[in-house]
A and B are shown apart, each in its own frame.
Chain A
């Protein structure tokens, strides 16, 4: 008889059902409020993890479990209260070198983890957190570059002893006014020698030069301004201790920052807005550091601490500050050892040249300065204070006199070189950014959203199921199976893709449940029609599925078309909705047509049937 699936078809459907169930399963286990402890410089040692456990125990808190992976410790707690308390304690006890972050760790059992099954990734509106859209002020970035070049042109002319009346910015170009037309030749040469990248524009006056930054370099500058800001933000977010931050470029000049699970949103905003800078200072080698630590700091020197905590005395005069750094990049020097290449602007170069010439063979230090905003509880009131944090990030011996471009060597590995370049760039003057969009969801609202979203899914689901059984009997039951299969499939696909589930995403799922029934309704109505036309039950089933297929296909393709357009043009909530809707449409076609057909074949196929329960 015709209502029979070949073995491979049944097998395939069952395999998909089993696999989908496995990957959907982690979502049932939920999350554990947990605290993640990591160290910025070195991985945590086993002993430190023990220490962390002890700190928590001493405070009378019991953690569900402590995991130690990749040099990070993860402590799971029963509730957010314990989690918050533990985090506060650990921040206190672990000091500055450890980053303590709040996290929602999936409570997926180990056997599911072995399959690589993970729960869906919850969006900020569900787990709470901060979303920022930042825009880099590119005009300001270009302006800064022009100002730098104006400085450099002046220096170049002066060194070449070319007489000029003025050098200044004129709209988006640099205008050089020379004493006489005779100087033009010499000026052109001088500029070509030092600043070969500048483009000469045509001029009207003979004693004038008009320079511009070429298109290619302007693009470079913009790109640099963007990456620099992303780097800076990343560093600050790391300070903040966020478990899974997202810092991403969006378009040409925008940056998305998402900080899931951040509870103290005011603090997050403060830290993102902190400023960092750096200073180059000579190391004071004449005085004894130990005496200084005991309190006798020599005049003209200041006591600092290195990353590893060692004290060091530095000259109190600053050579160069961070806003004079134009660029910093990491790479390898002539001897193939890791190095950081730094470029200074004209003013900084001059000063650096003078100092280094006098101090060959002496060590020089880089101090990283950050203004952090700390929240302290005073008499139950939260007070925010600005705190200056200074840290020596690198000490190197001056081997030669240098000025504009130089390199810092003596770094342990390429990773350290990269980090230093990052820090240097982060401390350098960045193009200003504006927050153009902010969405902050408090943790309680996030939980409310999950609960309410889930409730409406469940209620809608159950009511639809009851109605289907009532209206279509056995065929309704089969449709309900297909509907459940569909829900499992959607959830497993979202989990596998690690697509972000948002509240509109849940709405999308709810809507697909409503619409997924449609395919089965179409099929069942067709079967009823065929029966009414006097066909046999078996022929009716066959014809019903066959004829409904074209309709289901056409109608779903148009809806899918709309969903794809939504995805293409939508932003944020619209996109989340479009993703679940598209996945839902595709999976519902599979479950409603193939899944339900398999069951119907099992129930009615290959036997004599007098009447269908429909």
Chain B
């Protein structure tokens, strides 16, 4: 059993400092470096081909340059046998012609015919829409949580939950920005999943806080919340641990296509676990939560009946 009297909230200044620093670094990175947006959002063409033997990238690059695709980005994908080619959106040529032409040009120069594994073409207008829809989804999810938690608990709790979520999202995106990892639609899905996961974690703690406010009436808010976090700690760690096991399985065995997805989950779930222990409750506490905030409202009808 895990020791149950760690003073998490006593160290909240430290936690705020650490989180503040992480968020600051993330924001600076996002502002200066930005995100390496995938073609889902920028538009463009992505072609993945496979060879039986290791492929020489310089040969492919030269072939593409000669064929008029000098701006093509060529790199290995997963293994030396797989090659990923990225092209910027091009005017006046349809996607189907483009991928056919690229393959033709390449096959002329390489000794082995490439096997087409994947083509993704996203028109610029679709890219904008996908980015907009993704942003909206994130916004609505936060808003939905804000309302639900305010209704089930109290507004201070919903502020704490949402701030913790924004914290998780910014740090996850900052991680991708800092390392220059590609941010595509599946990573966006992962970020949204992190929101879902982290709120789950936070609510479990809040739920216990609510219980304990009713049970331990004489204690201070700080003590009650600390007790609650400690009581739910083994559950929080246990669930995060099992979830991280499967996410690691995804990252290691799931293949290149969802590698970034799994990575985003890994970072997000770790940060989410940390934030539901150290940040969410600390914010609620700093906002001056009291027992009265969680009291059931006295039914007005009863009062009237009892009046003389």
Contact = CB atoms under 8 A, between A and B. Distances in A.
Interface of A: 125, 133, 135, 265-266, 269-270, 272-273, 434-442, 444-445, 448-449, 452-453, 455-457, 459-461, 463-464, 467-468, 471, 503-504, 507-508, 510-511, 513-515, 517-518, 521-522, 525, 528-529, 547, 550-551, 554-559, 561-563, 565-566, 568-574, 577-578, 581
Interface in B194-209: 195-197, 199-201, 203-204, 207-208
A518 to B, nearest CB: 4
Contacts of B94: 434-435
Interface in B112-153: 115-123, 125-126, 130, 133-134, 136-137, 140-141, 144-145, 148-149, 152
Closest 3 CB pairs of A and B: A514-B243, A460-B246, A436-B123
Nearest to B193: A511
Given A463-B249, A504-B258, A504-B261, A570 B137 contact: yes
A562 B199 contact: yes
Contacts of B208: 551
Nearest to B121: A438
Nearest to B94: A435
B120 A438 contact: yes
A561 B133 contact: no
30 contacts: A265-B116, A435-B123, A438-B96, A438-B119, A438-B120, A438-B121, A440-B116, A440-B120, A445-B257, A460-B247, A461-B246, A503-B257, A511-B193, A511-B243, A514-B246, A515-B239, A517-B239, A518-B235, A525-B235, A551-B207, A554-B152, A555-B200, A557-B148, A558-B145, A561-B148, A562-B199, A566-B189, A569-B140, A574-B185, A574-B186
A273 B123 CA distance: 18
B31 interface: no
A558 B96 contact: no
- By DSSP majority rule, is chain B's interface helix, strand, loop, or mixed? helix
Nearest to B192: A566
A521 B188 contact: no
B254 A561 contact: no
B196 A581 contact: yes
Given A504-B186, A562-B196, A574-B185, A514 B247 contact: yes
B116 A522 contact: no
Given A125-B257, A521-B239, A569-B133, 6 more contacts: A270-B96, A453-B255, A467-B241, A511-B193, A551-B207, A558-B203
Interface string B153-180: 0000000000000000000000000000
A523 B195 CA distance: 23
Interface in B54-97: 94-96
A471 B119 contact: no
Given A514-B245, A559-B197, A569 B235 contact: no
Interface of A (DSSP majority class): helix
A570 B246 contact: no
Contacts of B110: none
A507 B261 contact: yes
A471 B103 CA distance: 54
A467 B249 contact: no
B238 A525 contact: yes
A522 B118 contact: no
A483 to B, nearest CB: 10
B226 interface: no
Contacts of A444: 50, 115, 117
Nearest to B208: A551
